[in-house]
Amino acid sequence: MRRGVAFTGAGISTECGIPDFRSPGGLWTRNRPIDFDAFLASRAMRDEAWRRRFAMEEAFAKARPGRGHRALSRLLAEGRLAGIVTQNIDGLHQASGAPPEDVIELHGNTTYATCLDCGRRYELEWVRMRFEAESGAAPDCEECAGPIKSATISFGQPMPAPAMLRARELTQGCDVFLAIGSSLVVWPAAGFPLEAKRNGAILVIINREPTELDDIADLVIRDEIGEVFAPFA
């Protein structure tokens, strides 16, 4: 039996009500991303980052796993997948039943926050209460007064070394690599499908729009992710 790795991007979550980033009308067409250095240097940027996060809270709070998430969770349970490497920050793979240890989050998770100095975890409800009590000012850590940020990876922020190592190990050990709902333009994460192909794995790309790696894929399916996985969900 072949054993695969699933690599997922924003496209797997759009049917769940979470907008993607690059498509027309996506988040980045409305708001330029806040770089990590700007977040650190400017309290005004920290305030704006949290304003944007809470503006998206309804979409994230209402989102439930879609057909793609459920199908991948099933494939994990059946032993057909060794793991899920995701660029997503919504936690929907875990919510679908995938064991957290089998989900490698390359870009972090937006469902909680951490202090960038001491690493203390904060739940979003606490951050929101403080944010609203201070008239839209980002709170500082109660432990060390450091900046509190959603547990996501921003532009310019170092990628999480343990997650990158685990993703690379899975990529090098699989014989089928499923790239699902990703534009495959954000590096270094987008390098994993290419690495899998170079190591002899079958590369399957499932995405609504063309990607830069379509030409080297063994199979390309251009369709809605939920429709593709509906028979397996």
Cross-strand bridge partners of residue 6: 84, 178
69 a catalytic residue: no
Q: What's the average model confidence in pLDDT over 170-191?
A: 92
The catalytically annotated residue of 67, 69, 93, 107 is 107
Q: How far apart are CA 164 and CA 158, in angstroms?
A: 11
Looking at residue 163, what is its pLDDT?
96
Judged against a pLDDT cut of 70, whether residue 115 lies above it is answered with yes
Q: CA separation (Å) from 98 to 101, 172, 176?
A: 8, 21, 19
> In which band, very low, low, confident or very high, does the pLDDT at 187 lie, cut at 50, 70 and 90?
confident
Q: CA separation (Å) from 67 to 13, 47, 74, 91, 202?
A: 9, 35, 11, 15, 23
Length of the chain: 233
The two beta strands, 103-105 and 81-86, are: parallel
CB atoms near residue 167 (< 10 Å): 26
pLDDT more than 70, % of the chain: 94
Cross-strand bridge partners of residue 202: 176
Are the C-beta atoms of residues 115 and 122 closer than 8 Å to each other? yes
Q: What's the average model confidence in pLDDT over 4-30?
A: 77
Stated pTM of the model: 0.90
Cross-strand bridge partners of residue 224: none
Query: Which residues make Cβ contacts (< 8 Å) with residue 174, sequence separation at least 6?
Result: 3, 4, 5, 82, 196, 201
Q: What's the average model confidence in pLDDT over 116-129?
A: 96
Query: Which residues make Cβ contacts (< 8 Å) with residue 232, sequence separation at least 6?
Result: 71, 74, 75
Looking at residue 229, what is its pLDDT?
94
pLDDT tens for 38-65 read 999 999 999 999 999 998 888 888 899 9
